[in-house]
Amino acid sequence: MGQPSITVRIPPPLRKLTGGQEEVSGTGGTVSALIADLESRHAGLRDRLLDEQGRLRKFVNVYVNDEDVRFLKDLETELREGMTVTVVPAIAGGSAT
Amino acid sequence: MKLPIPLPILRAMVAHARESYPAEACGIIIGTTERLTRLTRCRNVQDDLHAEDPAAHPRTTRDGYSIHPQDMFAIMKEARERGEAFRVIYHSHIDAGAYFSDEDKRVAIWEGEATYPEAAHVVISVVGGEPKEANIFRWNPGRREFDGEALELP
């Protein structure tokens, strides 16, 4: 059986890596495998999403359907055919201190 | 593009900033390319982040904000279903000016691009519990910077 096919929503600052596309497809049984698959066609995506230790960057939130992967199994969250993965950059800030 | 903020939405944003004092308020206004339609108050989770890991998150809600990711996702989903997008992301500064701080910019710009290019950022200064002034910062793709402009408070 093949790997599940997943729809991935890419935020605007990273669309230069996807030829301007807002949605791309990828395959993978976990979020981690999906990112590796995307990297093979959209080089540079992995480093934008993961830090040097291979963990999700602090300001990057990843949703599988409607669930934040940090409340699931993080990068090992399992994916099934037809799921949607959404990358949502955090919004934060504050006054000068 | 300079979308006007309808008066009821502007009032709701200022009221949120006032009520949240002495914590920074934050929220998102969605709309079409022609019209802002809805303001949603967001949870500022900065105190939770600070409690979990004060070294990584030295700021509290007194001088920082982080929008609850679930709130962002829910508003993004709502906007998508309505054919709309984030148009304004707002937050307040406590007993400080309505400037776009280095910390604000660090997050609002990613990879040299606006993190949310269709959204302007509004900063409201709240001094002693009262909203004093506000500025709106719009992404200038040519300069790759935000241009600020005063926003008149109701």
pLDDT in tens, A12-68: 999 999 999 999 999 999 999 999 999 999 999 999 999 999 999 989 999 999 999
CATH number at residue B114: 3.40.140.10
Nearest to B96 among A12, A66, A95 (CB): A95
Whether chain B has a CB inside 8 Å of the CB on A93: the answer is: yes
| Cα–Cα distance, B110 to B133 (Å, whole number) | 27
Q: List the single residue in A with minimal CA-CA distance to B61.
A: A94
The parent domain of residue B121 ranges over 7-151
Domain count, chain B: 1
E strand map for B24-144: 26-31, 36-42, 65-66, 85-94, 109-110, 113-114, 120-127, 130-140
Q: Looking at chain A from residue 2 to 41, which residues have their Cβ under 8 Å from any Cβ of chain B?
A: 11-14, 16
Q: CA angle at residue B86 from A93 to B59, to 5 degrees?
A: 10
Q: Is the ipTM of this complex over 0.95?
A: no
pLDDT tens digit sequence for B76-106: 999 999 999 999 999 999 999 999 999 899 9
Report the predicted TM-score, pTM, of the whole model to 2 decimal places. Answer: 0.94
Domain locations along chain A: 5-89
Inside any domain, residue B1: no
Please name which of B62, B23, B60, B59 lies closest in space to residue B41, comparing C-alpha atoms: B23
Mean pLDDT for the stretch of residues B54-62: 94
Statement: A5-89 belongs to CATH 3.10.20.30? yes
